[in-house]
Amino acid sequence: METELGFITQHIKEEVESFEYATSVNTAGRIVSSNDGVIMIEGLAEVKNGELLYISGGKYALALNLEEELIGAILLSTSADVAVGDIAYTTGKIVSVPAGKPLLGRVINPLGAPLDGKSEIKTRYYRNIEAPAPAILDRAKVNTPLYTGIKAIDSMIPIGKGQRELIIGDRQTGKTALAIDTIINQKDKDVICVYVAIGQKSSSVTKILGELEAHGALDYTVIVSSTAGQSAPLQYLAPYTGTAIAEEFMYNGRDVLIVYDDLSKHAVAYRTISLLLKRPSGREAYPGDIFYIHSKLLERSAKLCESLGGGSITALPIIETLAGDISAYIPTNVISITDGQIYLESELFNAGIRPAINVGLSVSRVGGAAQCPAMKKVSGKIRLHLAHYREMQIFARFGADLDSATKESLEMGARLTENLKQAEFSPVSMEDTVVELVVMQNDYLKGIPTNKVREVITGFLTYFHSREAAFIENMRTTKDIDEEGMKIIEYRIKRYIDRHLHLK
Ligand code: ATP
Ligand code: MG
């Protein structure tokens, strides 16, 4: 009897203590179902969209579906263990994650918890994962190049700081490799990188971590990882977490590069959540607001104006296509949201042309304005030569008798294509790209067999650096090249071929 009374007193005491928290019936609700990280709550009336909910037992959820009777929410925990009957409370807060310098070199989950087995992340800065994009007047024009270190991109599909450039292609076409190479190329360039892995295999993320570390790129990089084994809500949140982390740096005047690998899996995660929330589905069973979800995310990348510190977020979202179909729902959406796309093709990849960029289908709508004068002077012709080469190739397939001019043009195109091949983890500087392209556009390698092109160019660059270090340094600072500079390159390549190559 006494113990029961004691229990009741205890219970009343607890209720009184928790009374402050739940000030009215409207701020607490009961969980009526829990499915794959998506919960339904009844009796919760005063709740905002995107609000953080506290669930008895120390768990959290994010309110997504606001209906009169039932509130749909996604669980913010790695284990989806809430029980029907648990109580959910509103908190009046938006979900936030740690941000700032302590995150550099770390691997975190979408909730900001470390995954790399290192110490707890200690930071004074937290940022809401949802934030409005910078307003039009807060933005400046994209006017500074962001070099990827990939010759074909930096010359023909230039990317500027604050731009959103889509990387699109079938599976296993080198999409991730392109993004990782770009991160590695930011070494010593004062650009902070955020790599967001969405729904990938844990082993892939581990591999990327190892590669970044091996190339000294981890010190300035944050990895936000949600693996395929994690719940759809966590995969859905990952890009917002990554963007919040990037924003903290951008609003402090820094340049940031963010990679979303990939948004196709993000769309699938969002579709799963929507289906569990019983929302009506549209084309390809994706919910109607998937376009809004992606545009809202990518609009947060920007180049800020000087009065806001001039920082930037450059975004490289990745989209995986099926059998090269860029007209499917998600690819067309993201193509229309971004400022251009780099289109990778299995056919090229399998033919050994790597990176497998289809230059004809790839564009950069704003990066040209950011290109430096030196690169501008040499890249226009290269694009023309390549387009001409592709045309000639089709012509040559008919087996027609080719005149010598056509043959020459075909050979030059083949050498150019060979020169644009690039192995992984071997970024080329802007200066070296310009020197190489001057050699290629004037066809100074005429007569050299295609399979020797890369070897000759590599040898020549080493030789050129040893003889013309001041010239290279001058180009690096002025970012320009004049007629005289072109002459120097011509003189050096001819001399190199005469003295060092014994092909003839
Ligand atoms: P997935 O669809 O599985 O995500 P992906 O399109 O991201 O694939 P990657 O994983 O980047 O492609 O690359 C596929 C394979 O091709 C990898 O084994 C990678 O090492 C290789 N690869 C990528 N780029 C190059 C390159 N430039 N030169 C040589 N090999 C490359
Ligand atoms: Mg990949």
In single-letter form, the type of residue at position 257 comes to L
At residue 25, the pLDDT reads 45
Tokens of 487: 């002459």
Topology given in CATH for the domain delimited by 375-501: Lysin (1.20.150)
At residue 24, the pLDDT reads 47
172 Cβ inside 6 Å of ligand 1: yes
Identify the three-state secondary structure at position 131: coil
Which among 206, 353, 424 is the best mutation to test ligand 1's pocket, defined by most ligand atoms within 8 Å of the CB? 424
N-terminal to C-terminal alpha carbon distance within the chain: 108
For residue 451, give the DSSP letter.
G
The residue contributing the CA closest to ligand 1 atom 22 is 174
Task: Assess whether 365 carries a catalytic annotation.
Answer: yes
Q: What is the domain partition of the chain in residue ranges?
A: 28-93, 98-371, 375-501
Q: Do residues 346 and 173 make contact, with C-beta atoms less than 8 angstroms apart?
A: yes
Give the pLDDT of the chain (504 residues) as one tens digit per residue: 445 556 666 666 766 666 655 444 458 899 999 888 889 999 888 888 889 999 988 888 999 888 888 999 999 876 667 889 999 999 888 899 999 999 999 999 999 999 999 999 999 999 999 999 999 999 999 999 999 999 999 999 999 999 999 999 999 999 999 999 999 999 999 999 999 999 999 999 999 999 999 999 999 999 999 999 988 999 999 999 999 999 999 999 999 999 999 999 999 999 999 998 888 889 999 999 999 999 999 999 999 999 999 999 999 999 999 999 999 999 999 999 999 999 999 999 999 999 999 998 999 999 888 999 999 999 988 988 898 898 888 878 776 677 888 888 899 999 999 999 999 999 999 999 999 999 999 999 998 999 999 999 999 999 999 999 999 999 999 999 999 999 999 999 999 999 877 654
The residue annotated as part of the active site, out of 279, 365, 383, 467, is 365
At residue 407, the pLDDT reads 86
177 Cβ inside 6 Å of ligand 1: yes
For residue 253, give the DSSP letter.
T
Task: Render 22-44 in DSSP notation, one character per residue.
Answer: S-SGGGEEEEEEEETTEEEEES-
The architecture (CATH level 2) of 98-371 comes to 3-Layer(aba) Sandwich (3.40)
Distance CA 15, CA 357 (A): 64
The architecture (CATH level 2) of 28-93 comes to Beta Barrel (2.40)
Distance 208 CA to ligand 2 centre (A): 10
Distance 178 CA to ligand 1 centre (A): 8
Distance CA 238, CA 248 (A): 16
Distance CA 152, CA 230 (A): 36
Give the pTM. 0.92
At residue 4, the pLDDT reads 57
